[in-house]
Structure 1
Amino acid sequence: MPPRIVYLATADARGHLMRAQLLTHALRAAGAQVQVLTTSDEGARFLAGFGIDAPVLSRHYAVQFDAQQNMLRRETDRNVAHYMFHPGRMLRDVWRLRAWFRHADLVVNDSFHPALLLMGWLPFWRRKVVHVYGASLRQALETNFKGRMPLAVAKVFGGIVAWQIDRSKARIAHDFAYGEPAHDGHGGHRLATPVAIVDAVDHGDAGRRVAAVYLNPHFKDAALADGLEQGLADAGLPAHLVGEGYAQRVHWHARDERWIEAAAHSAFIVSAPGMAALSIASVYRKPILLLLTDQPEQAMNAGRATQLGLAHRVVVWRGDAQKFARAVSVASGELLALPSSPSDASEGRQAAVERLRPWTALMLRLAASG
């Protein structure tokens, strides 16, 4: 019987969904049966664009953001608390997930859905749960209340979360800059963030003179988009603009299933510093303009990009469209001046293949041992 895998991908950010569709197609090609679940109707529509039917588990759980992708901590805490303690929410989802568990060899939690955190902690189900998460996301979760509650309380919270995570069958921490796969011998694994494999055709100078912009659905502020468009125009650079929050704007696309291919052959990438965007920049050796907001995980990622010497510039939205446009224009000029090589696309394609292979092998091995 082929391995049976259930993959729950939270829809808070599209990086989780991109990883889910990428791994699902790779695992199915290797002979596994994979059922994907997600947490919003928008997430289900996103996955449908990649040929994946994903039922929505629950519409009640979500991290909360404002229109500039700044994380709303109080609103998020309130939403998570309501989800966890309302009898018709998390317990209902646990009840629904029981049926999926019954027929699964492995259940993937990408990333930290509370129902699977609980089930990955309980002895009845934990032998099937693997948590998949960006290394910076786990740190952000465990330190969520640091500076907002008494230190002792914050430490207790972080300890409980860590205990829940570590009780599961396995954990896969990923990062855009990880090298060779590694494991600790106790169910903990480290892998480089997987990236879609694109063709290695060189599009010439015309292709490289386009900025590939992706802003996740939390970005909705019109003035921010005005400033970004103006800054890129002032730098003399056409842009391929993708963002669900700006779907009604002229020249913007809500979704583009081939955006990563555009990014791999662009002059540079423009995105918030999520793990997926940084991985694309790293693998395909593209400079990246990071739009930094108040989101702890992504702030850590931006810091790591600096430490590791990834070719990038950072711009911060502070509410002034003209100042933002000038900052974008200056940063764009600096990124355009960086040297590039015609071999970057082909070498990046091979690097993407090498990143994906250990993910598929590990998932199949974990499913077989279940």
Structure 2
Amino acid sequence: MAARILYLATADARGHLMRAQLLTHALRAKGADVTVLTTSDEGVAFLAEFGIAAEVLSRHYAVQFDEQQNMQRGATDRTVARYLFDPRHMLRDIGKLRRYLARVDLLVNDSFHPALLVMGCLPGWRRKIVHVYGASLRQALQSNFHGRLPAWLARAFAAAIAFELGRARARLQHDFAYLDASETAPGSFNLPTPVALAECPAGLPESCVALYLNPHFRDPALAAGLEQGLAQAGLASLRVGEGYAGRAGWLAHDPRWIDAAAHSALIISAPGMAALSVAQVYRRPILLLVSDQPEQLSNARRAAELGLRHEVLVWRGDVAHFAEQLAAASRRLAAASAGEAPGAGRGHAQQRLDAWADCLLTLPSSGETGRVER
């Protein structure tokens, strides 16, 4: 019988949703029956662009950001607290997920949804729950209260997260630096971040820049700085960002963005795991727009350690200065990639998708990895 999988992808940014659509298509191609849930109406619309019909679990849980993608820690703490302690929120979601759980073989939690963190450590439910998360995101979550609460409370929070993750059926940790899939402990896997299969784009100039900003970027001055910088560099661009929907020259969504990125002169994006993986797999230079988001700051540092061709740019509110910096960095990076093809990137992307699908499909039939329910 086909494996029945429920995939819950949070919609705080679009990396979780992109991974959900990639893995849903890969799993369905191997015969699995996959249902997708997310946490906002915008997330449903995003998934629909890729042919995935999804439903909203509830709209109560979300991480909060400002219009420049800086994480708002106080607002996030308040949102999460309301979600955890208001019985109309998490308890209601757990009831809904419990009914789903009775009908599926696996429930994938991408990424750190509180209801599934709780369910994943409780008898009867935990044997079907799989947590999917980025290595840097887990580190950022567990260190979230360091320096903001007394040390013993911060350590207790980190230990609680580790306990909840460790009790579940399995943990699939991904990173753009992982080259191969491996099982690091019973039920714990390291996998390279999945990447879409790119086609050769039509209608875009060879010197085109592929620019993507997630929906948290909404500052019009930042958009103006990007536009002016690319114009100064003499580079055409495909600009995608939901936060700039309706702005001239921008698209809210474009499923072909990966095709343009794989063959681009340059990628411009925040240092999310997905964008870095695209740059790595398709051997494209990337200009990283850094904001106050802990896991992305960590990603940017590791990009340097891994030798990924990149430069880092910080938006400080000065349009003219930012445009000059962006133009200079874009020229340097585009010149470094001139005439270089994506190489075997599509083959590497397929290997990553196969590794994920095969890993998930082995879990329903591989028992409890030696654990005993109590």
What's the TM-score, normalizing by structure 1? 0.97
Q: Specify the alignment match of 1:363 in structure 2.
A: 360
Q: Specify the alignment match of 1:25 in structure 2.
A: 25
Unaligned 5+ segments in structure 2 are: 368-374
How far residue 341 of structure 1 moved from its aligned partner, in angstroms, is 5.1
Aligned length in residues: 367
Q: Specify the alignment match of 1:92 in structure 2.
A: 92
How far residue 207 of structure 1 moved from its aligned partner, in angstroms, is 3.7
Q: Specify the alignment match of 2:63 in structure 1.
A: 63
- CA distance in 1: counterparts of 2:205 and 2:231, whole angstroms: 16
Deviation track 1:102-128 (CA, whole Å, cap 9, x = no partner) reads: 011000000000000001011120000
Q: Specify the alignment match of 1:284 in structure 2.
A: 282
Unaligned 5+ segments in structure 1 are: none
Residue of 259, 262, 277 corresponding to 1:261: 259
Deviation track 1:163-187 (CA, whole Å, cap 9, x = no partner) reads: 1111111000000110121112321
Q: Specify the alignment match of 1:113 in structure 2.
A: 113
Q: Specify the alignment match of 2:145 in structure 1.
A: 145
> Is the CA contact (8 Å cut-off) linking 1:207 and 1:265 kept in structure 2?
no
1:112-191 mapped onto 2 (5 Å cutoff): 112-191=112-191
Deviation track 1:152-208 (CA, whole Å, cap 9, x = no partner) reads: 211111111111111111000000110121112321100000000112x4879x743
How far residue 340 of structure 1 moved from its aligned partner, in angstroms, is 4.7
- CA distance in 1: counterparts of 2:211 and 2:158, whole angstroms: 35
Q: Specify the alignment match of 2:232 in structure 1.
A: 234
Counterpart of 1:251 in structure 2: which amino acid? G
> Is the CA contact (8 Å cut-off) linking 2:205 and 2:236 kept in structure 1?
no
- CA distance in 1: counterparts of 2:352 and 2:35, whole angstroms: 22
> Is the CA contact (8 Å cut-off) linking 1:5 and 1:367 kept in structure 2?
no
How far residue 367 of structure 1 moved from its aligned partner, in angstroms, is 2.5
Q: Secondary structure at the match of 1:329?
A: helix
Q: Specify the alignment match of 2:46 in structure 1.
A: 46
Q: Specify the alignment match of 2:371 in structure 1.
A: none
What's the TM-score, normalizing by structure 2? 0.96
> Is the CA contact (8 Å cut-off) linking 1:131 and 1:165 kept in structure 2?
yes
Q: Secondary structure at the match of 1:280?
A: helix
Counterpart of 1:365 in structure 2: which amino acid? T
Counterpart of 1:265 in structure 2: which amino acid? H
Q: Secondary structure at the match of 1:177?
A: coil
Deviation track 1:315-347 (CA, whole Å, cap 9, x = no partner) reads: 0011111111111111111102214554x3241
- CA distance in 2: counterparts of 1:23 and 1:328, whole angstroms: 34
Q: Specify the alignment match of 2:268 in structure 1.
A: 270
Q: Secondary structure at the match of 1:338?
A: helix
- CA distance in 2: counterparts of 1:210 and 1:124, whole angstroms: 52
- CA distance in 2: counterparts of 1:221 and 1:208, whole angstroms: 29
How far residue 355 of structure 1 moved from its aligned partner, in angstroms, is 1.1
> Is the CA contact (8 Å cut-off) linking 2:283 and 2:343 kept in structure 1?
no
- CA distance in 2: counterparts of 1:103 and 1:369, whole angstroms: 18
Q: Give the % identical residues.
A: 61
Q: Specify the alignment match of 2:2 in structure 1.
A: 2
Q: Secondary structure at the match of 1:149?
A: coil
